[in-house]
A and B are shown apart, each in its own frame.
Chain A
């Protein structure tokens, strides 16, 4: 009988000892309702500077890429013209 009481007491005690820290590490309860806000704090607002720089850099990259494509296409055509001229002169 005493052994059973002691076992029950140990079970209750160990359950309590494990439950308290387990409860302490539980995540906070889920949000029950959303609270609207008219403005964001300064730290959370999207910075305008990087957007401006990205926009400006995009123009440079787009124009540079386009110039490169013209140069590449022109080189190809002129190479073909030279090859054709050589072929003709050999005859």
Chain B
């Protein structure tokens, strides 16, 4: 991945620069007008947030089971990105809702569960930073519960009656909206991989520093 980092970075930067033009040329949704264009980055950010929460949960489960430090590092990196993309979803969603529904927020299942998912990722980060010894296992357990929430966030719009559009919207997007949507989704997914890689590198360097300190202590 280290060899691929720079080429992928160039591709992502080009895609990020081109995406506003692609979104500007995309079709509007008939009842919502221009505000419907938030779809092209709100929904992919939500997809990346859910993916990241799953990565964090699975890596944490592996860490609890096998005590693998690599899995723990991946879990921390993924949790931070869940918090970042969750924040994007939670900020851009109400801007869309204000125009589409006439309200900034509604405590309906999809919004509430997404908010809870985001809070779980923040809790994980706070536990890892401030809970002291044993915070790795406590955090890992929290992340597993966070990943269990993910399928419920996804299907919530189909089970309960909600204001939020259903999961059938994305697979049935018309051609004028489908291309820009998947282009934006791919851009954000590649951006996610890049950020995850950079964050993992930071965590590896921190581990190396800890090992250096331990070696120094042994010598003195």
Contacts and interface: CB of A to CB of B under 8 A. Distances in A.
B195 interface: yes
Interface string B76-109: 0000100010011001100110110000000000
A91 B66 CA distance: 39
A62 B84 contact: yes
A63 to B, nearest CB: 7
A63 B205 contact: no
Contact of A81 (B33, B37, B38, B212): B212
Interface string B178-216: 000000000000010001001101100110110011001
Contacts of A67: 195, 198
A66 B77 CA distance: 12
A35 to B, nearest CB: 19
A52 B35 contact: yes
A75 B89 CA distance: 29
A12 interface: no
B208 A81 contact: yes
B110 interface: no
Contact of A55 (B20, B92, B208, B209): B92
A73 B209 CA distance: 13
B73 interface: no
Interface residues of B, number: 33
A51 to B, nearest CB: 5
A52 B212 contact: no
Contacts of B41: 55-56, 59
A56 B20 contact: yes
B95 A59 contact: no
Nearest to B208: A81
B30 to A, nearest CB: 14
A48 B98 CA distance: 9
A70 B98 CA distance: 33
Which of A48, A84, A88 has the most chain B CB atoms closer than 10 A to its own CB? Answer: A48
A54 interface: yes
A55 B87 CA distance: 11
B99 A48 contact: yes
A6 to B, nearest CB: 67
B95 A54 contact: yes
A23 interface: no
Contacts of B198: 67, 70, 74
Given A55-B42, A88-B216, A66 B195 contact: yes
A10 interface: no
Q: Which 8 A-B pairs have the closest CB atoms?
A: A48-B35, A55-B92, A48-B34, A51-B95, A55-B95, A77-B205, A74-B202, A48-B99
Interface of A: 46, 48-49, 51-52, 54-56, 58-59, 62-63, 66-67, 70, 73-74, 77-78, 80-81, 84-85, 87-88
